Amino acid sequence: MTRDDLRNLMKYGSYVLLLFFSYILQATPGIELFGIKPMLVLPACICIAFLEDEFSAGLLGVFAGIFCDFSSDTVFGFNALLFLLFCVGAGLAAEYAVRRSLINVMLFSLAAVFLRAGLEYVFSFALYHYEGSAAYFYTVMGPEIVLTSVFTPLYFLLTKLVHHRFRPSSEREQL
Amino acid sequence: MQKFFKTKKFYVLCGIAVLLCAFMIRSAIEGNSALLISRLAGGISRPFLEASANFTDALSGFFSKYFKTAEVYEENEALQEQIRDLQEQLVDYESVKRENEQYKDYLGLREENPDYDFETASVIGRDSTGRFASFTIDRGSSNGIAIADPVITADGLVGLVWEVGPTWARVRTILDSSVEVGAYDIRTRDSGIVSGDILLSEKGMCQMVSLPRDSGASAGDLIVTSGIGGVFPKNLVVGTLSEISLSGSGLSLTASVTPAADIASVTDVLVIKSFRGQGEENFSSLPETSSGAEASSGAEASSGAEASSGMEASSGTETSSGAEISSGAEASGAESGAAP
């Protein structure tokens, strides 16, 4: 195993730990801000996708999504599939279309969280025509979306630190 | 970018996406706990969730002594006021008082219900994506817990188990609109269905529908389970009526119910693994209406008294535990634990 392989292993190990720790925080009873529980795993996945290649980001997205599926009320695979699509999309966008800046990662994170909440709303509430479900989306899911997006800069900083700390030799030599 | 869509990695990701779609289909048909990967995720995360929940409990317990003094004082004052009001209301209703006292603590509950087979459990997971205050507990099928087992606290009914793994189980609460509980007003003996309401759930409340239009039910009345349907035992405290109004159709009354148990922040619960009458429809347990008023809709109870609302689940699906699941509003008076 070369030094670069070891760095890669430690980098992805750190990402896995970060995602798992975020999931534990997300699912622990009593951890909330202003009575709202943010969804921490998705912004973490989007930040990783912005810094790494789309394939690795997709796999990490599936890993995180599977844990979210365990504690979510949706059918198993719903979060994993969405996280896979979001991470690959964000990875491709960062590679070919947009700069890897904080503002772009925040926009992508907000869009992903909004899309996930919107799809959950459609499949869990709207299809069943629950009375007052629209108000529920605005008053409960809306604040969750906003609060979740607030955590994106923190995750971007953390993932950038990990990415920089375990960068390969070729990039180190350039500096 | 087009180069990526021709690589092997792209095809691998497509394969994973197809696999996840297959998981979703199987999960929709058989439930999440049927999937090995779901049980695996539960098994890995359970010890960490448990440790994290214990840690936050200890931390919040330590700090709450210093930061919540004013809040606790106000809450204490409010509770004292509420106790005085309730005592005044209950002074003429000794039977209600006796019923209420029966459920004051776990030991009392055990002694009063020797037929109950309990399992104590702690709440270890409460996710932001778990709607209607649903949560995960640290006991599962290895402890004898099965789908549709009732979940309670010493204060009253919390909900029912809807998904079980070897060492964990997911609980849907009575705030969930897919959970329906046959219940009756202990003072007037009018029966109805307690179920969740999407807006009331945000206030930690649920609703009681299908109360007879001529019911004498009023705010403050105690609501208990009727035992019909065999999913929940009879006479479990559900909560108290808060606000009563005519339903949209004008044929019956709808009331908001404040659950007796603090569902949104409950940390320890009891799961009733078995009880006398479990899985039986048990229509004879329907309370007699005190006024003897005609039923607004529904069949006659076997005791001969007119039921205040329908009793039979008109169409049902068997759950794995054998409990009958009703289909929405048709199942007036009977209980269910249906998942959409």
Q: Is residue A147's pLDDT more than 90?
A: no
A contacts of B60 (beta carbons < 8 Å): 30
Kindly state whether residues B130 and B198 are assigned to the same domain: yes
Do B196 and B175 touch, CB atoms closer than 8 A?
A: yes
Reading the block at residue B89, the tokens are 């209301």
Which of B283, B303, B318 is where one domain is finished? Answer: B283
Tell me which of A21, A25, A66, A73 to substitute to probe the interface with B (most B C-beta atoms closer than 10 Å): A73
Q: How many domains does chain B have?
A: 2
Q: Do A68 and B199 touch (CB under 8 A)?
A: no
Establish, for the pair of chains A and B, how many residue pairs have beta carbons separated by less than 8 Å.
143
Specify if B204 maps to a domain. yes
> B122 touching A, CB under 8 A?
no
Smallest CA-to-CA distance from B173 within B163, B184, B161, B165 is with: B161
CATH for B172: 2.40.10.350
> B261 touching A, CB under 8 A?
no
Specify if B103 maps to a domain. yes
Kindly state whether residues B100 and B143 are assigned to the same domain: no
Q: Which residue has the higher pLDDT, B245 or A29?
A: B245
> Which residues are registered as beta bridge partners of B135?
B171
The pLDDT value given to residue B310? 34
The ranges of chain B with pLDDT < 70 are: 1, 32-34, 60, 63-65, 67-68, 90-108, 127-130, 281-340
The pLDDT value given to residue A108? 92
> B27 touching A, CB under 8 A?
yes
The residue range of the domain holding B214 is 117-283
Instruction: Note the pLDDT tens digit of each residue in A51-60.
Output: 998 999 999 9
Residues 6+ apart with CB under 8 A from B2: none
Specify if B233 maps to a domain. yes
B contacts of A35 (beta carbons < 8 Å): none
Kindly state whether residues B77 and B145 are assigned to the same domain: no
Specify if B132 maps to a domain. yes
B contacts of A19 (beta carbons < 8 Å): none
The pLDDT value given to residue B206? 93
Tell me which of B127, B135, B203, B249 to substitute to probe the interface with A (most A C-beta atoms closer than 10 Å): B127
% of chain A with per-residue pLDDT over 70:
97
Count of CA atoms in the C-beta half-sphere (13 A) of A78 = 23
B34, closest residue in chain A (CA to CA) = A76
What CA–CA distances, in Å, run from B247 to B167, B198, B210, B253, B338? 42, 16, 8, 5, 23
> B14 touching A, CB under 8 A?
no
> B9 touching A, CB under 8 A?
yes
- Select from B17, B134, B202 the Cβ nearest to the Cβ of A140: B202
- In angstroms, the separation between the Cα of residue A117 and the nearest Cα of chain B is 9
The pLDDT value given to residue B105? 59
- In angstroms, the separation between the Cα of residue B231 and the nearest Cα of chain A is 21
B contacts of A118 (beta carbons < 8 Å): none
Q: Do A66 and B177 touch (CB under 8 A)?
A: no
Kindly state whether residues B76 and B167 are assigned to the same domain: no
B contacts of A55 (beta carbons < 8 Å): 9, 12-13
The pLDDT value given to residue B221? 92
> Which residues are registered as beta bridge partners of B180?
B195, B336
Q: Give the span between the Cα atoms of B36 and B320, in whole angstroms.
A: 18
For tokens 């005519």, name the residue.
B246
For tokens 């392989």, name the residue.
A5
Kindly state whether residues B183 and B102 are assigned to the same domain: no
Q: Give the span between the Cα atoms of A167 and A156, in whole angstroms.
A: 16
Q: Is residue A87's pLDDT more than 70?
A: yes
Kindly state whether residues B16 and B61 are assigned to the same domain: yes
Do B228 and B282 touch, CB atoms closer than 8 A?
A: yes
CA quadruple A124, A40, A98, A96: dihedral sign: negative
Specify if B296 maps to a domain. no
For residue A33, what is the DSSP state? B
CA quadruple A79, A81, A85, A90: dihedral sign: positive
Q: Which residue has the higher pLDDT, A42 or B286?
A: A42
Specify if B318 maps to a domain. no
- Select from B23, B131, B197 the Cβ nearest to the Cβ of A124: B131
Q: What is the mean pLDDT of chain B?
A: 75
Q: Give the span between the Cα atoms of A58 and B11, in whole angstroms.
A: 12
Write down the pTM of the prediction. 0.62
By residue count, chain A amounts to 175
What CA–CA distances, in Å, run from B266 to B4, B83, B229, B239, B309? 49, 21, 26, 15, 32
Q: What is the mean pLDDT of chain A?
A: 87
Kindly state whether residues B194 and B57 are assigned to the same domain: no
Kindly state whether residues B90 and B148 are assigned to the same domain: no
Do B99 and B186 touch, CB atoms closer than 8 A?
A: yes
Rg (CA), chain B: 22
Kindly state whether residues B31 and B103 are assigned to the same domain: yes
Q: Do B124 and A29 touch (CB under 8 A)?
A: yes
Kindly state whether residues B106 and B135 are assigned to the same domain: no
Q: Do A76 and B48 touch (CB under 8 A)?
A: no
Q: Give the span between the Cα atoms of B197 and B174, in whole angstroms.
A: 9
Which of B283, B312, B334 is where one domain is finished? Answer: B283
Strands B336-337 and B179-185 come out as antiparallel
A30, closest residue in chain B (CA to CA) = B56
Kindly state whether residues B102 and B169 are assigned to the same domain: no
Per 3-state DSSP, chain B is made up of helix, strand and coil in percentages (nearest 5) of 35, 25, 40
Specify if B123 maps to a domain. yes
Specify if B298 maps to a domain. no
Which of B64, B82, B112 is where one domain is finished? Answer: B112
The pLDDT value given to residue B315? 35
B contacts of A84 (beta carbons < 8 Å): 13, 16-17, 20
Do A79 and A69 touch, CB atoms closer than 8 A?
A: yes
- Select from A68, A76, A130 the Cβ nearest to the Cβ of B129: A68
The pLDDT value given to residue B33? 65
A32, closest residue in chain B (CA to CA) = B128
Q: Which backbone phi and psi does B125 adopt, to 5 degrees? A: -145, 130
Kindly state whether residues B162 and B271 are assigned to the same domain: yes
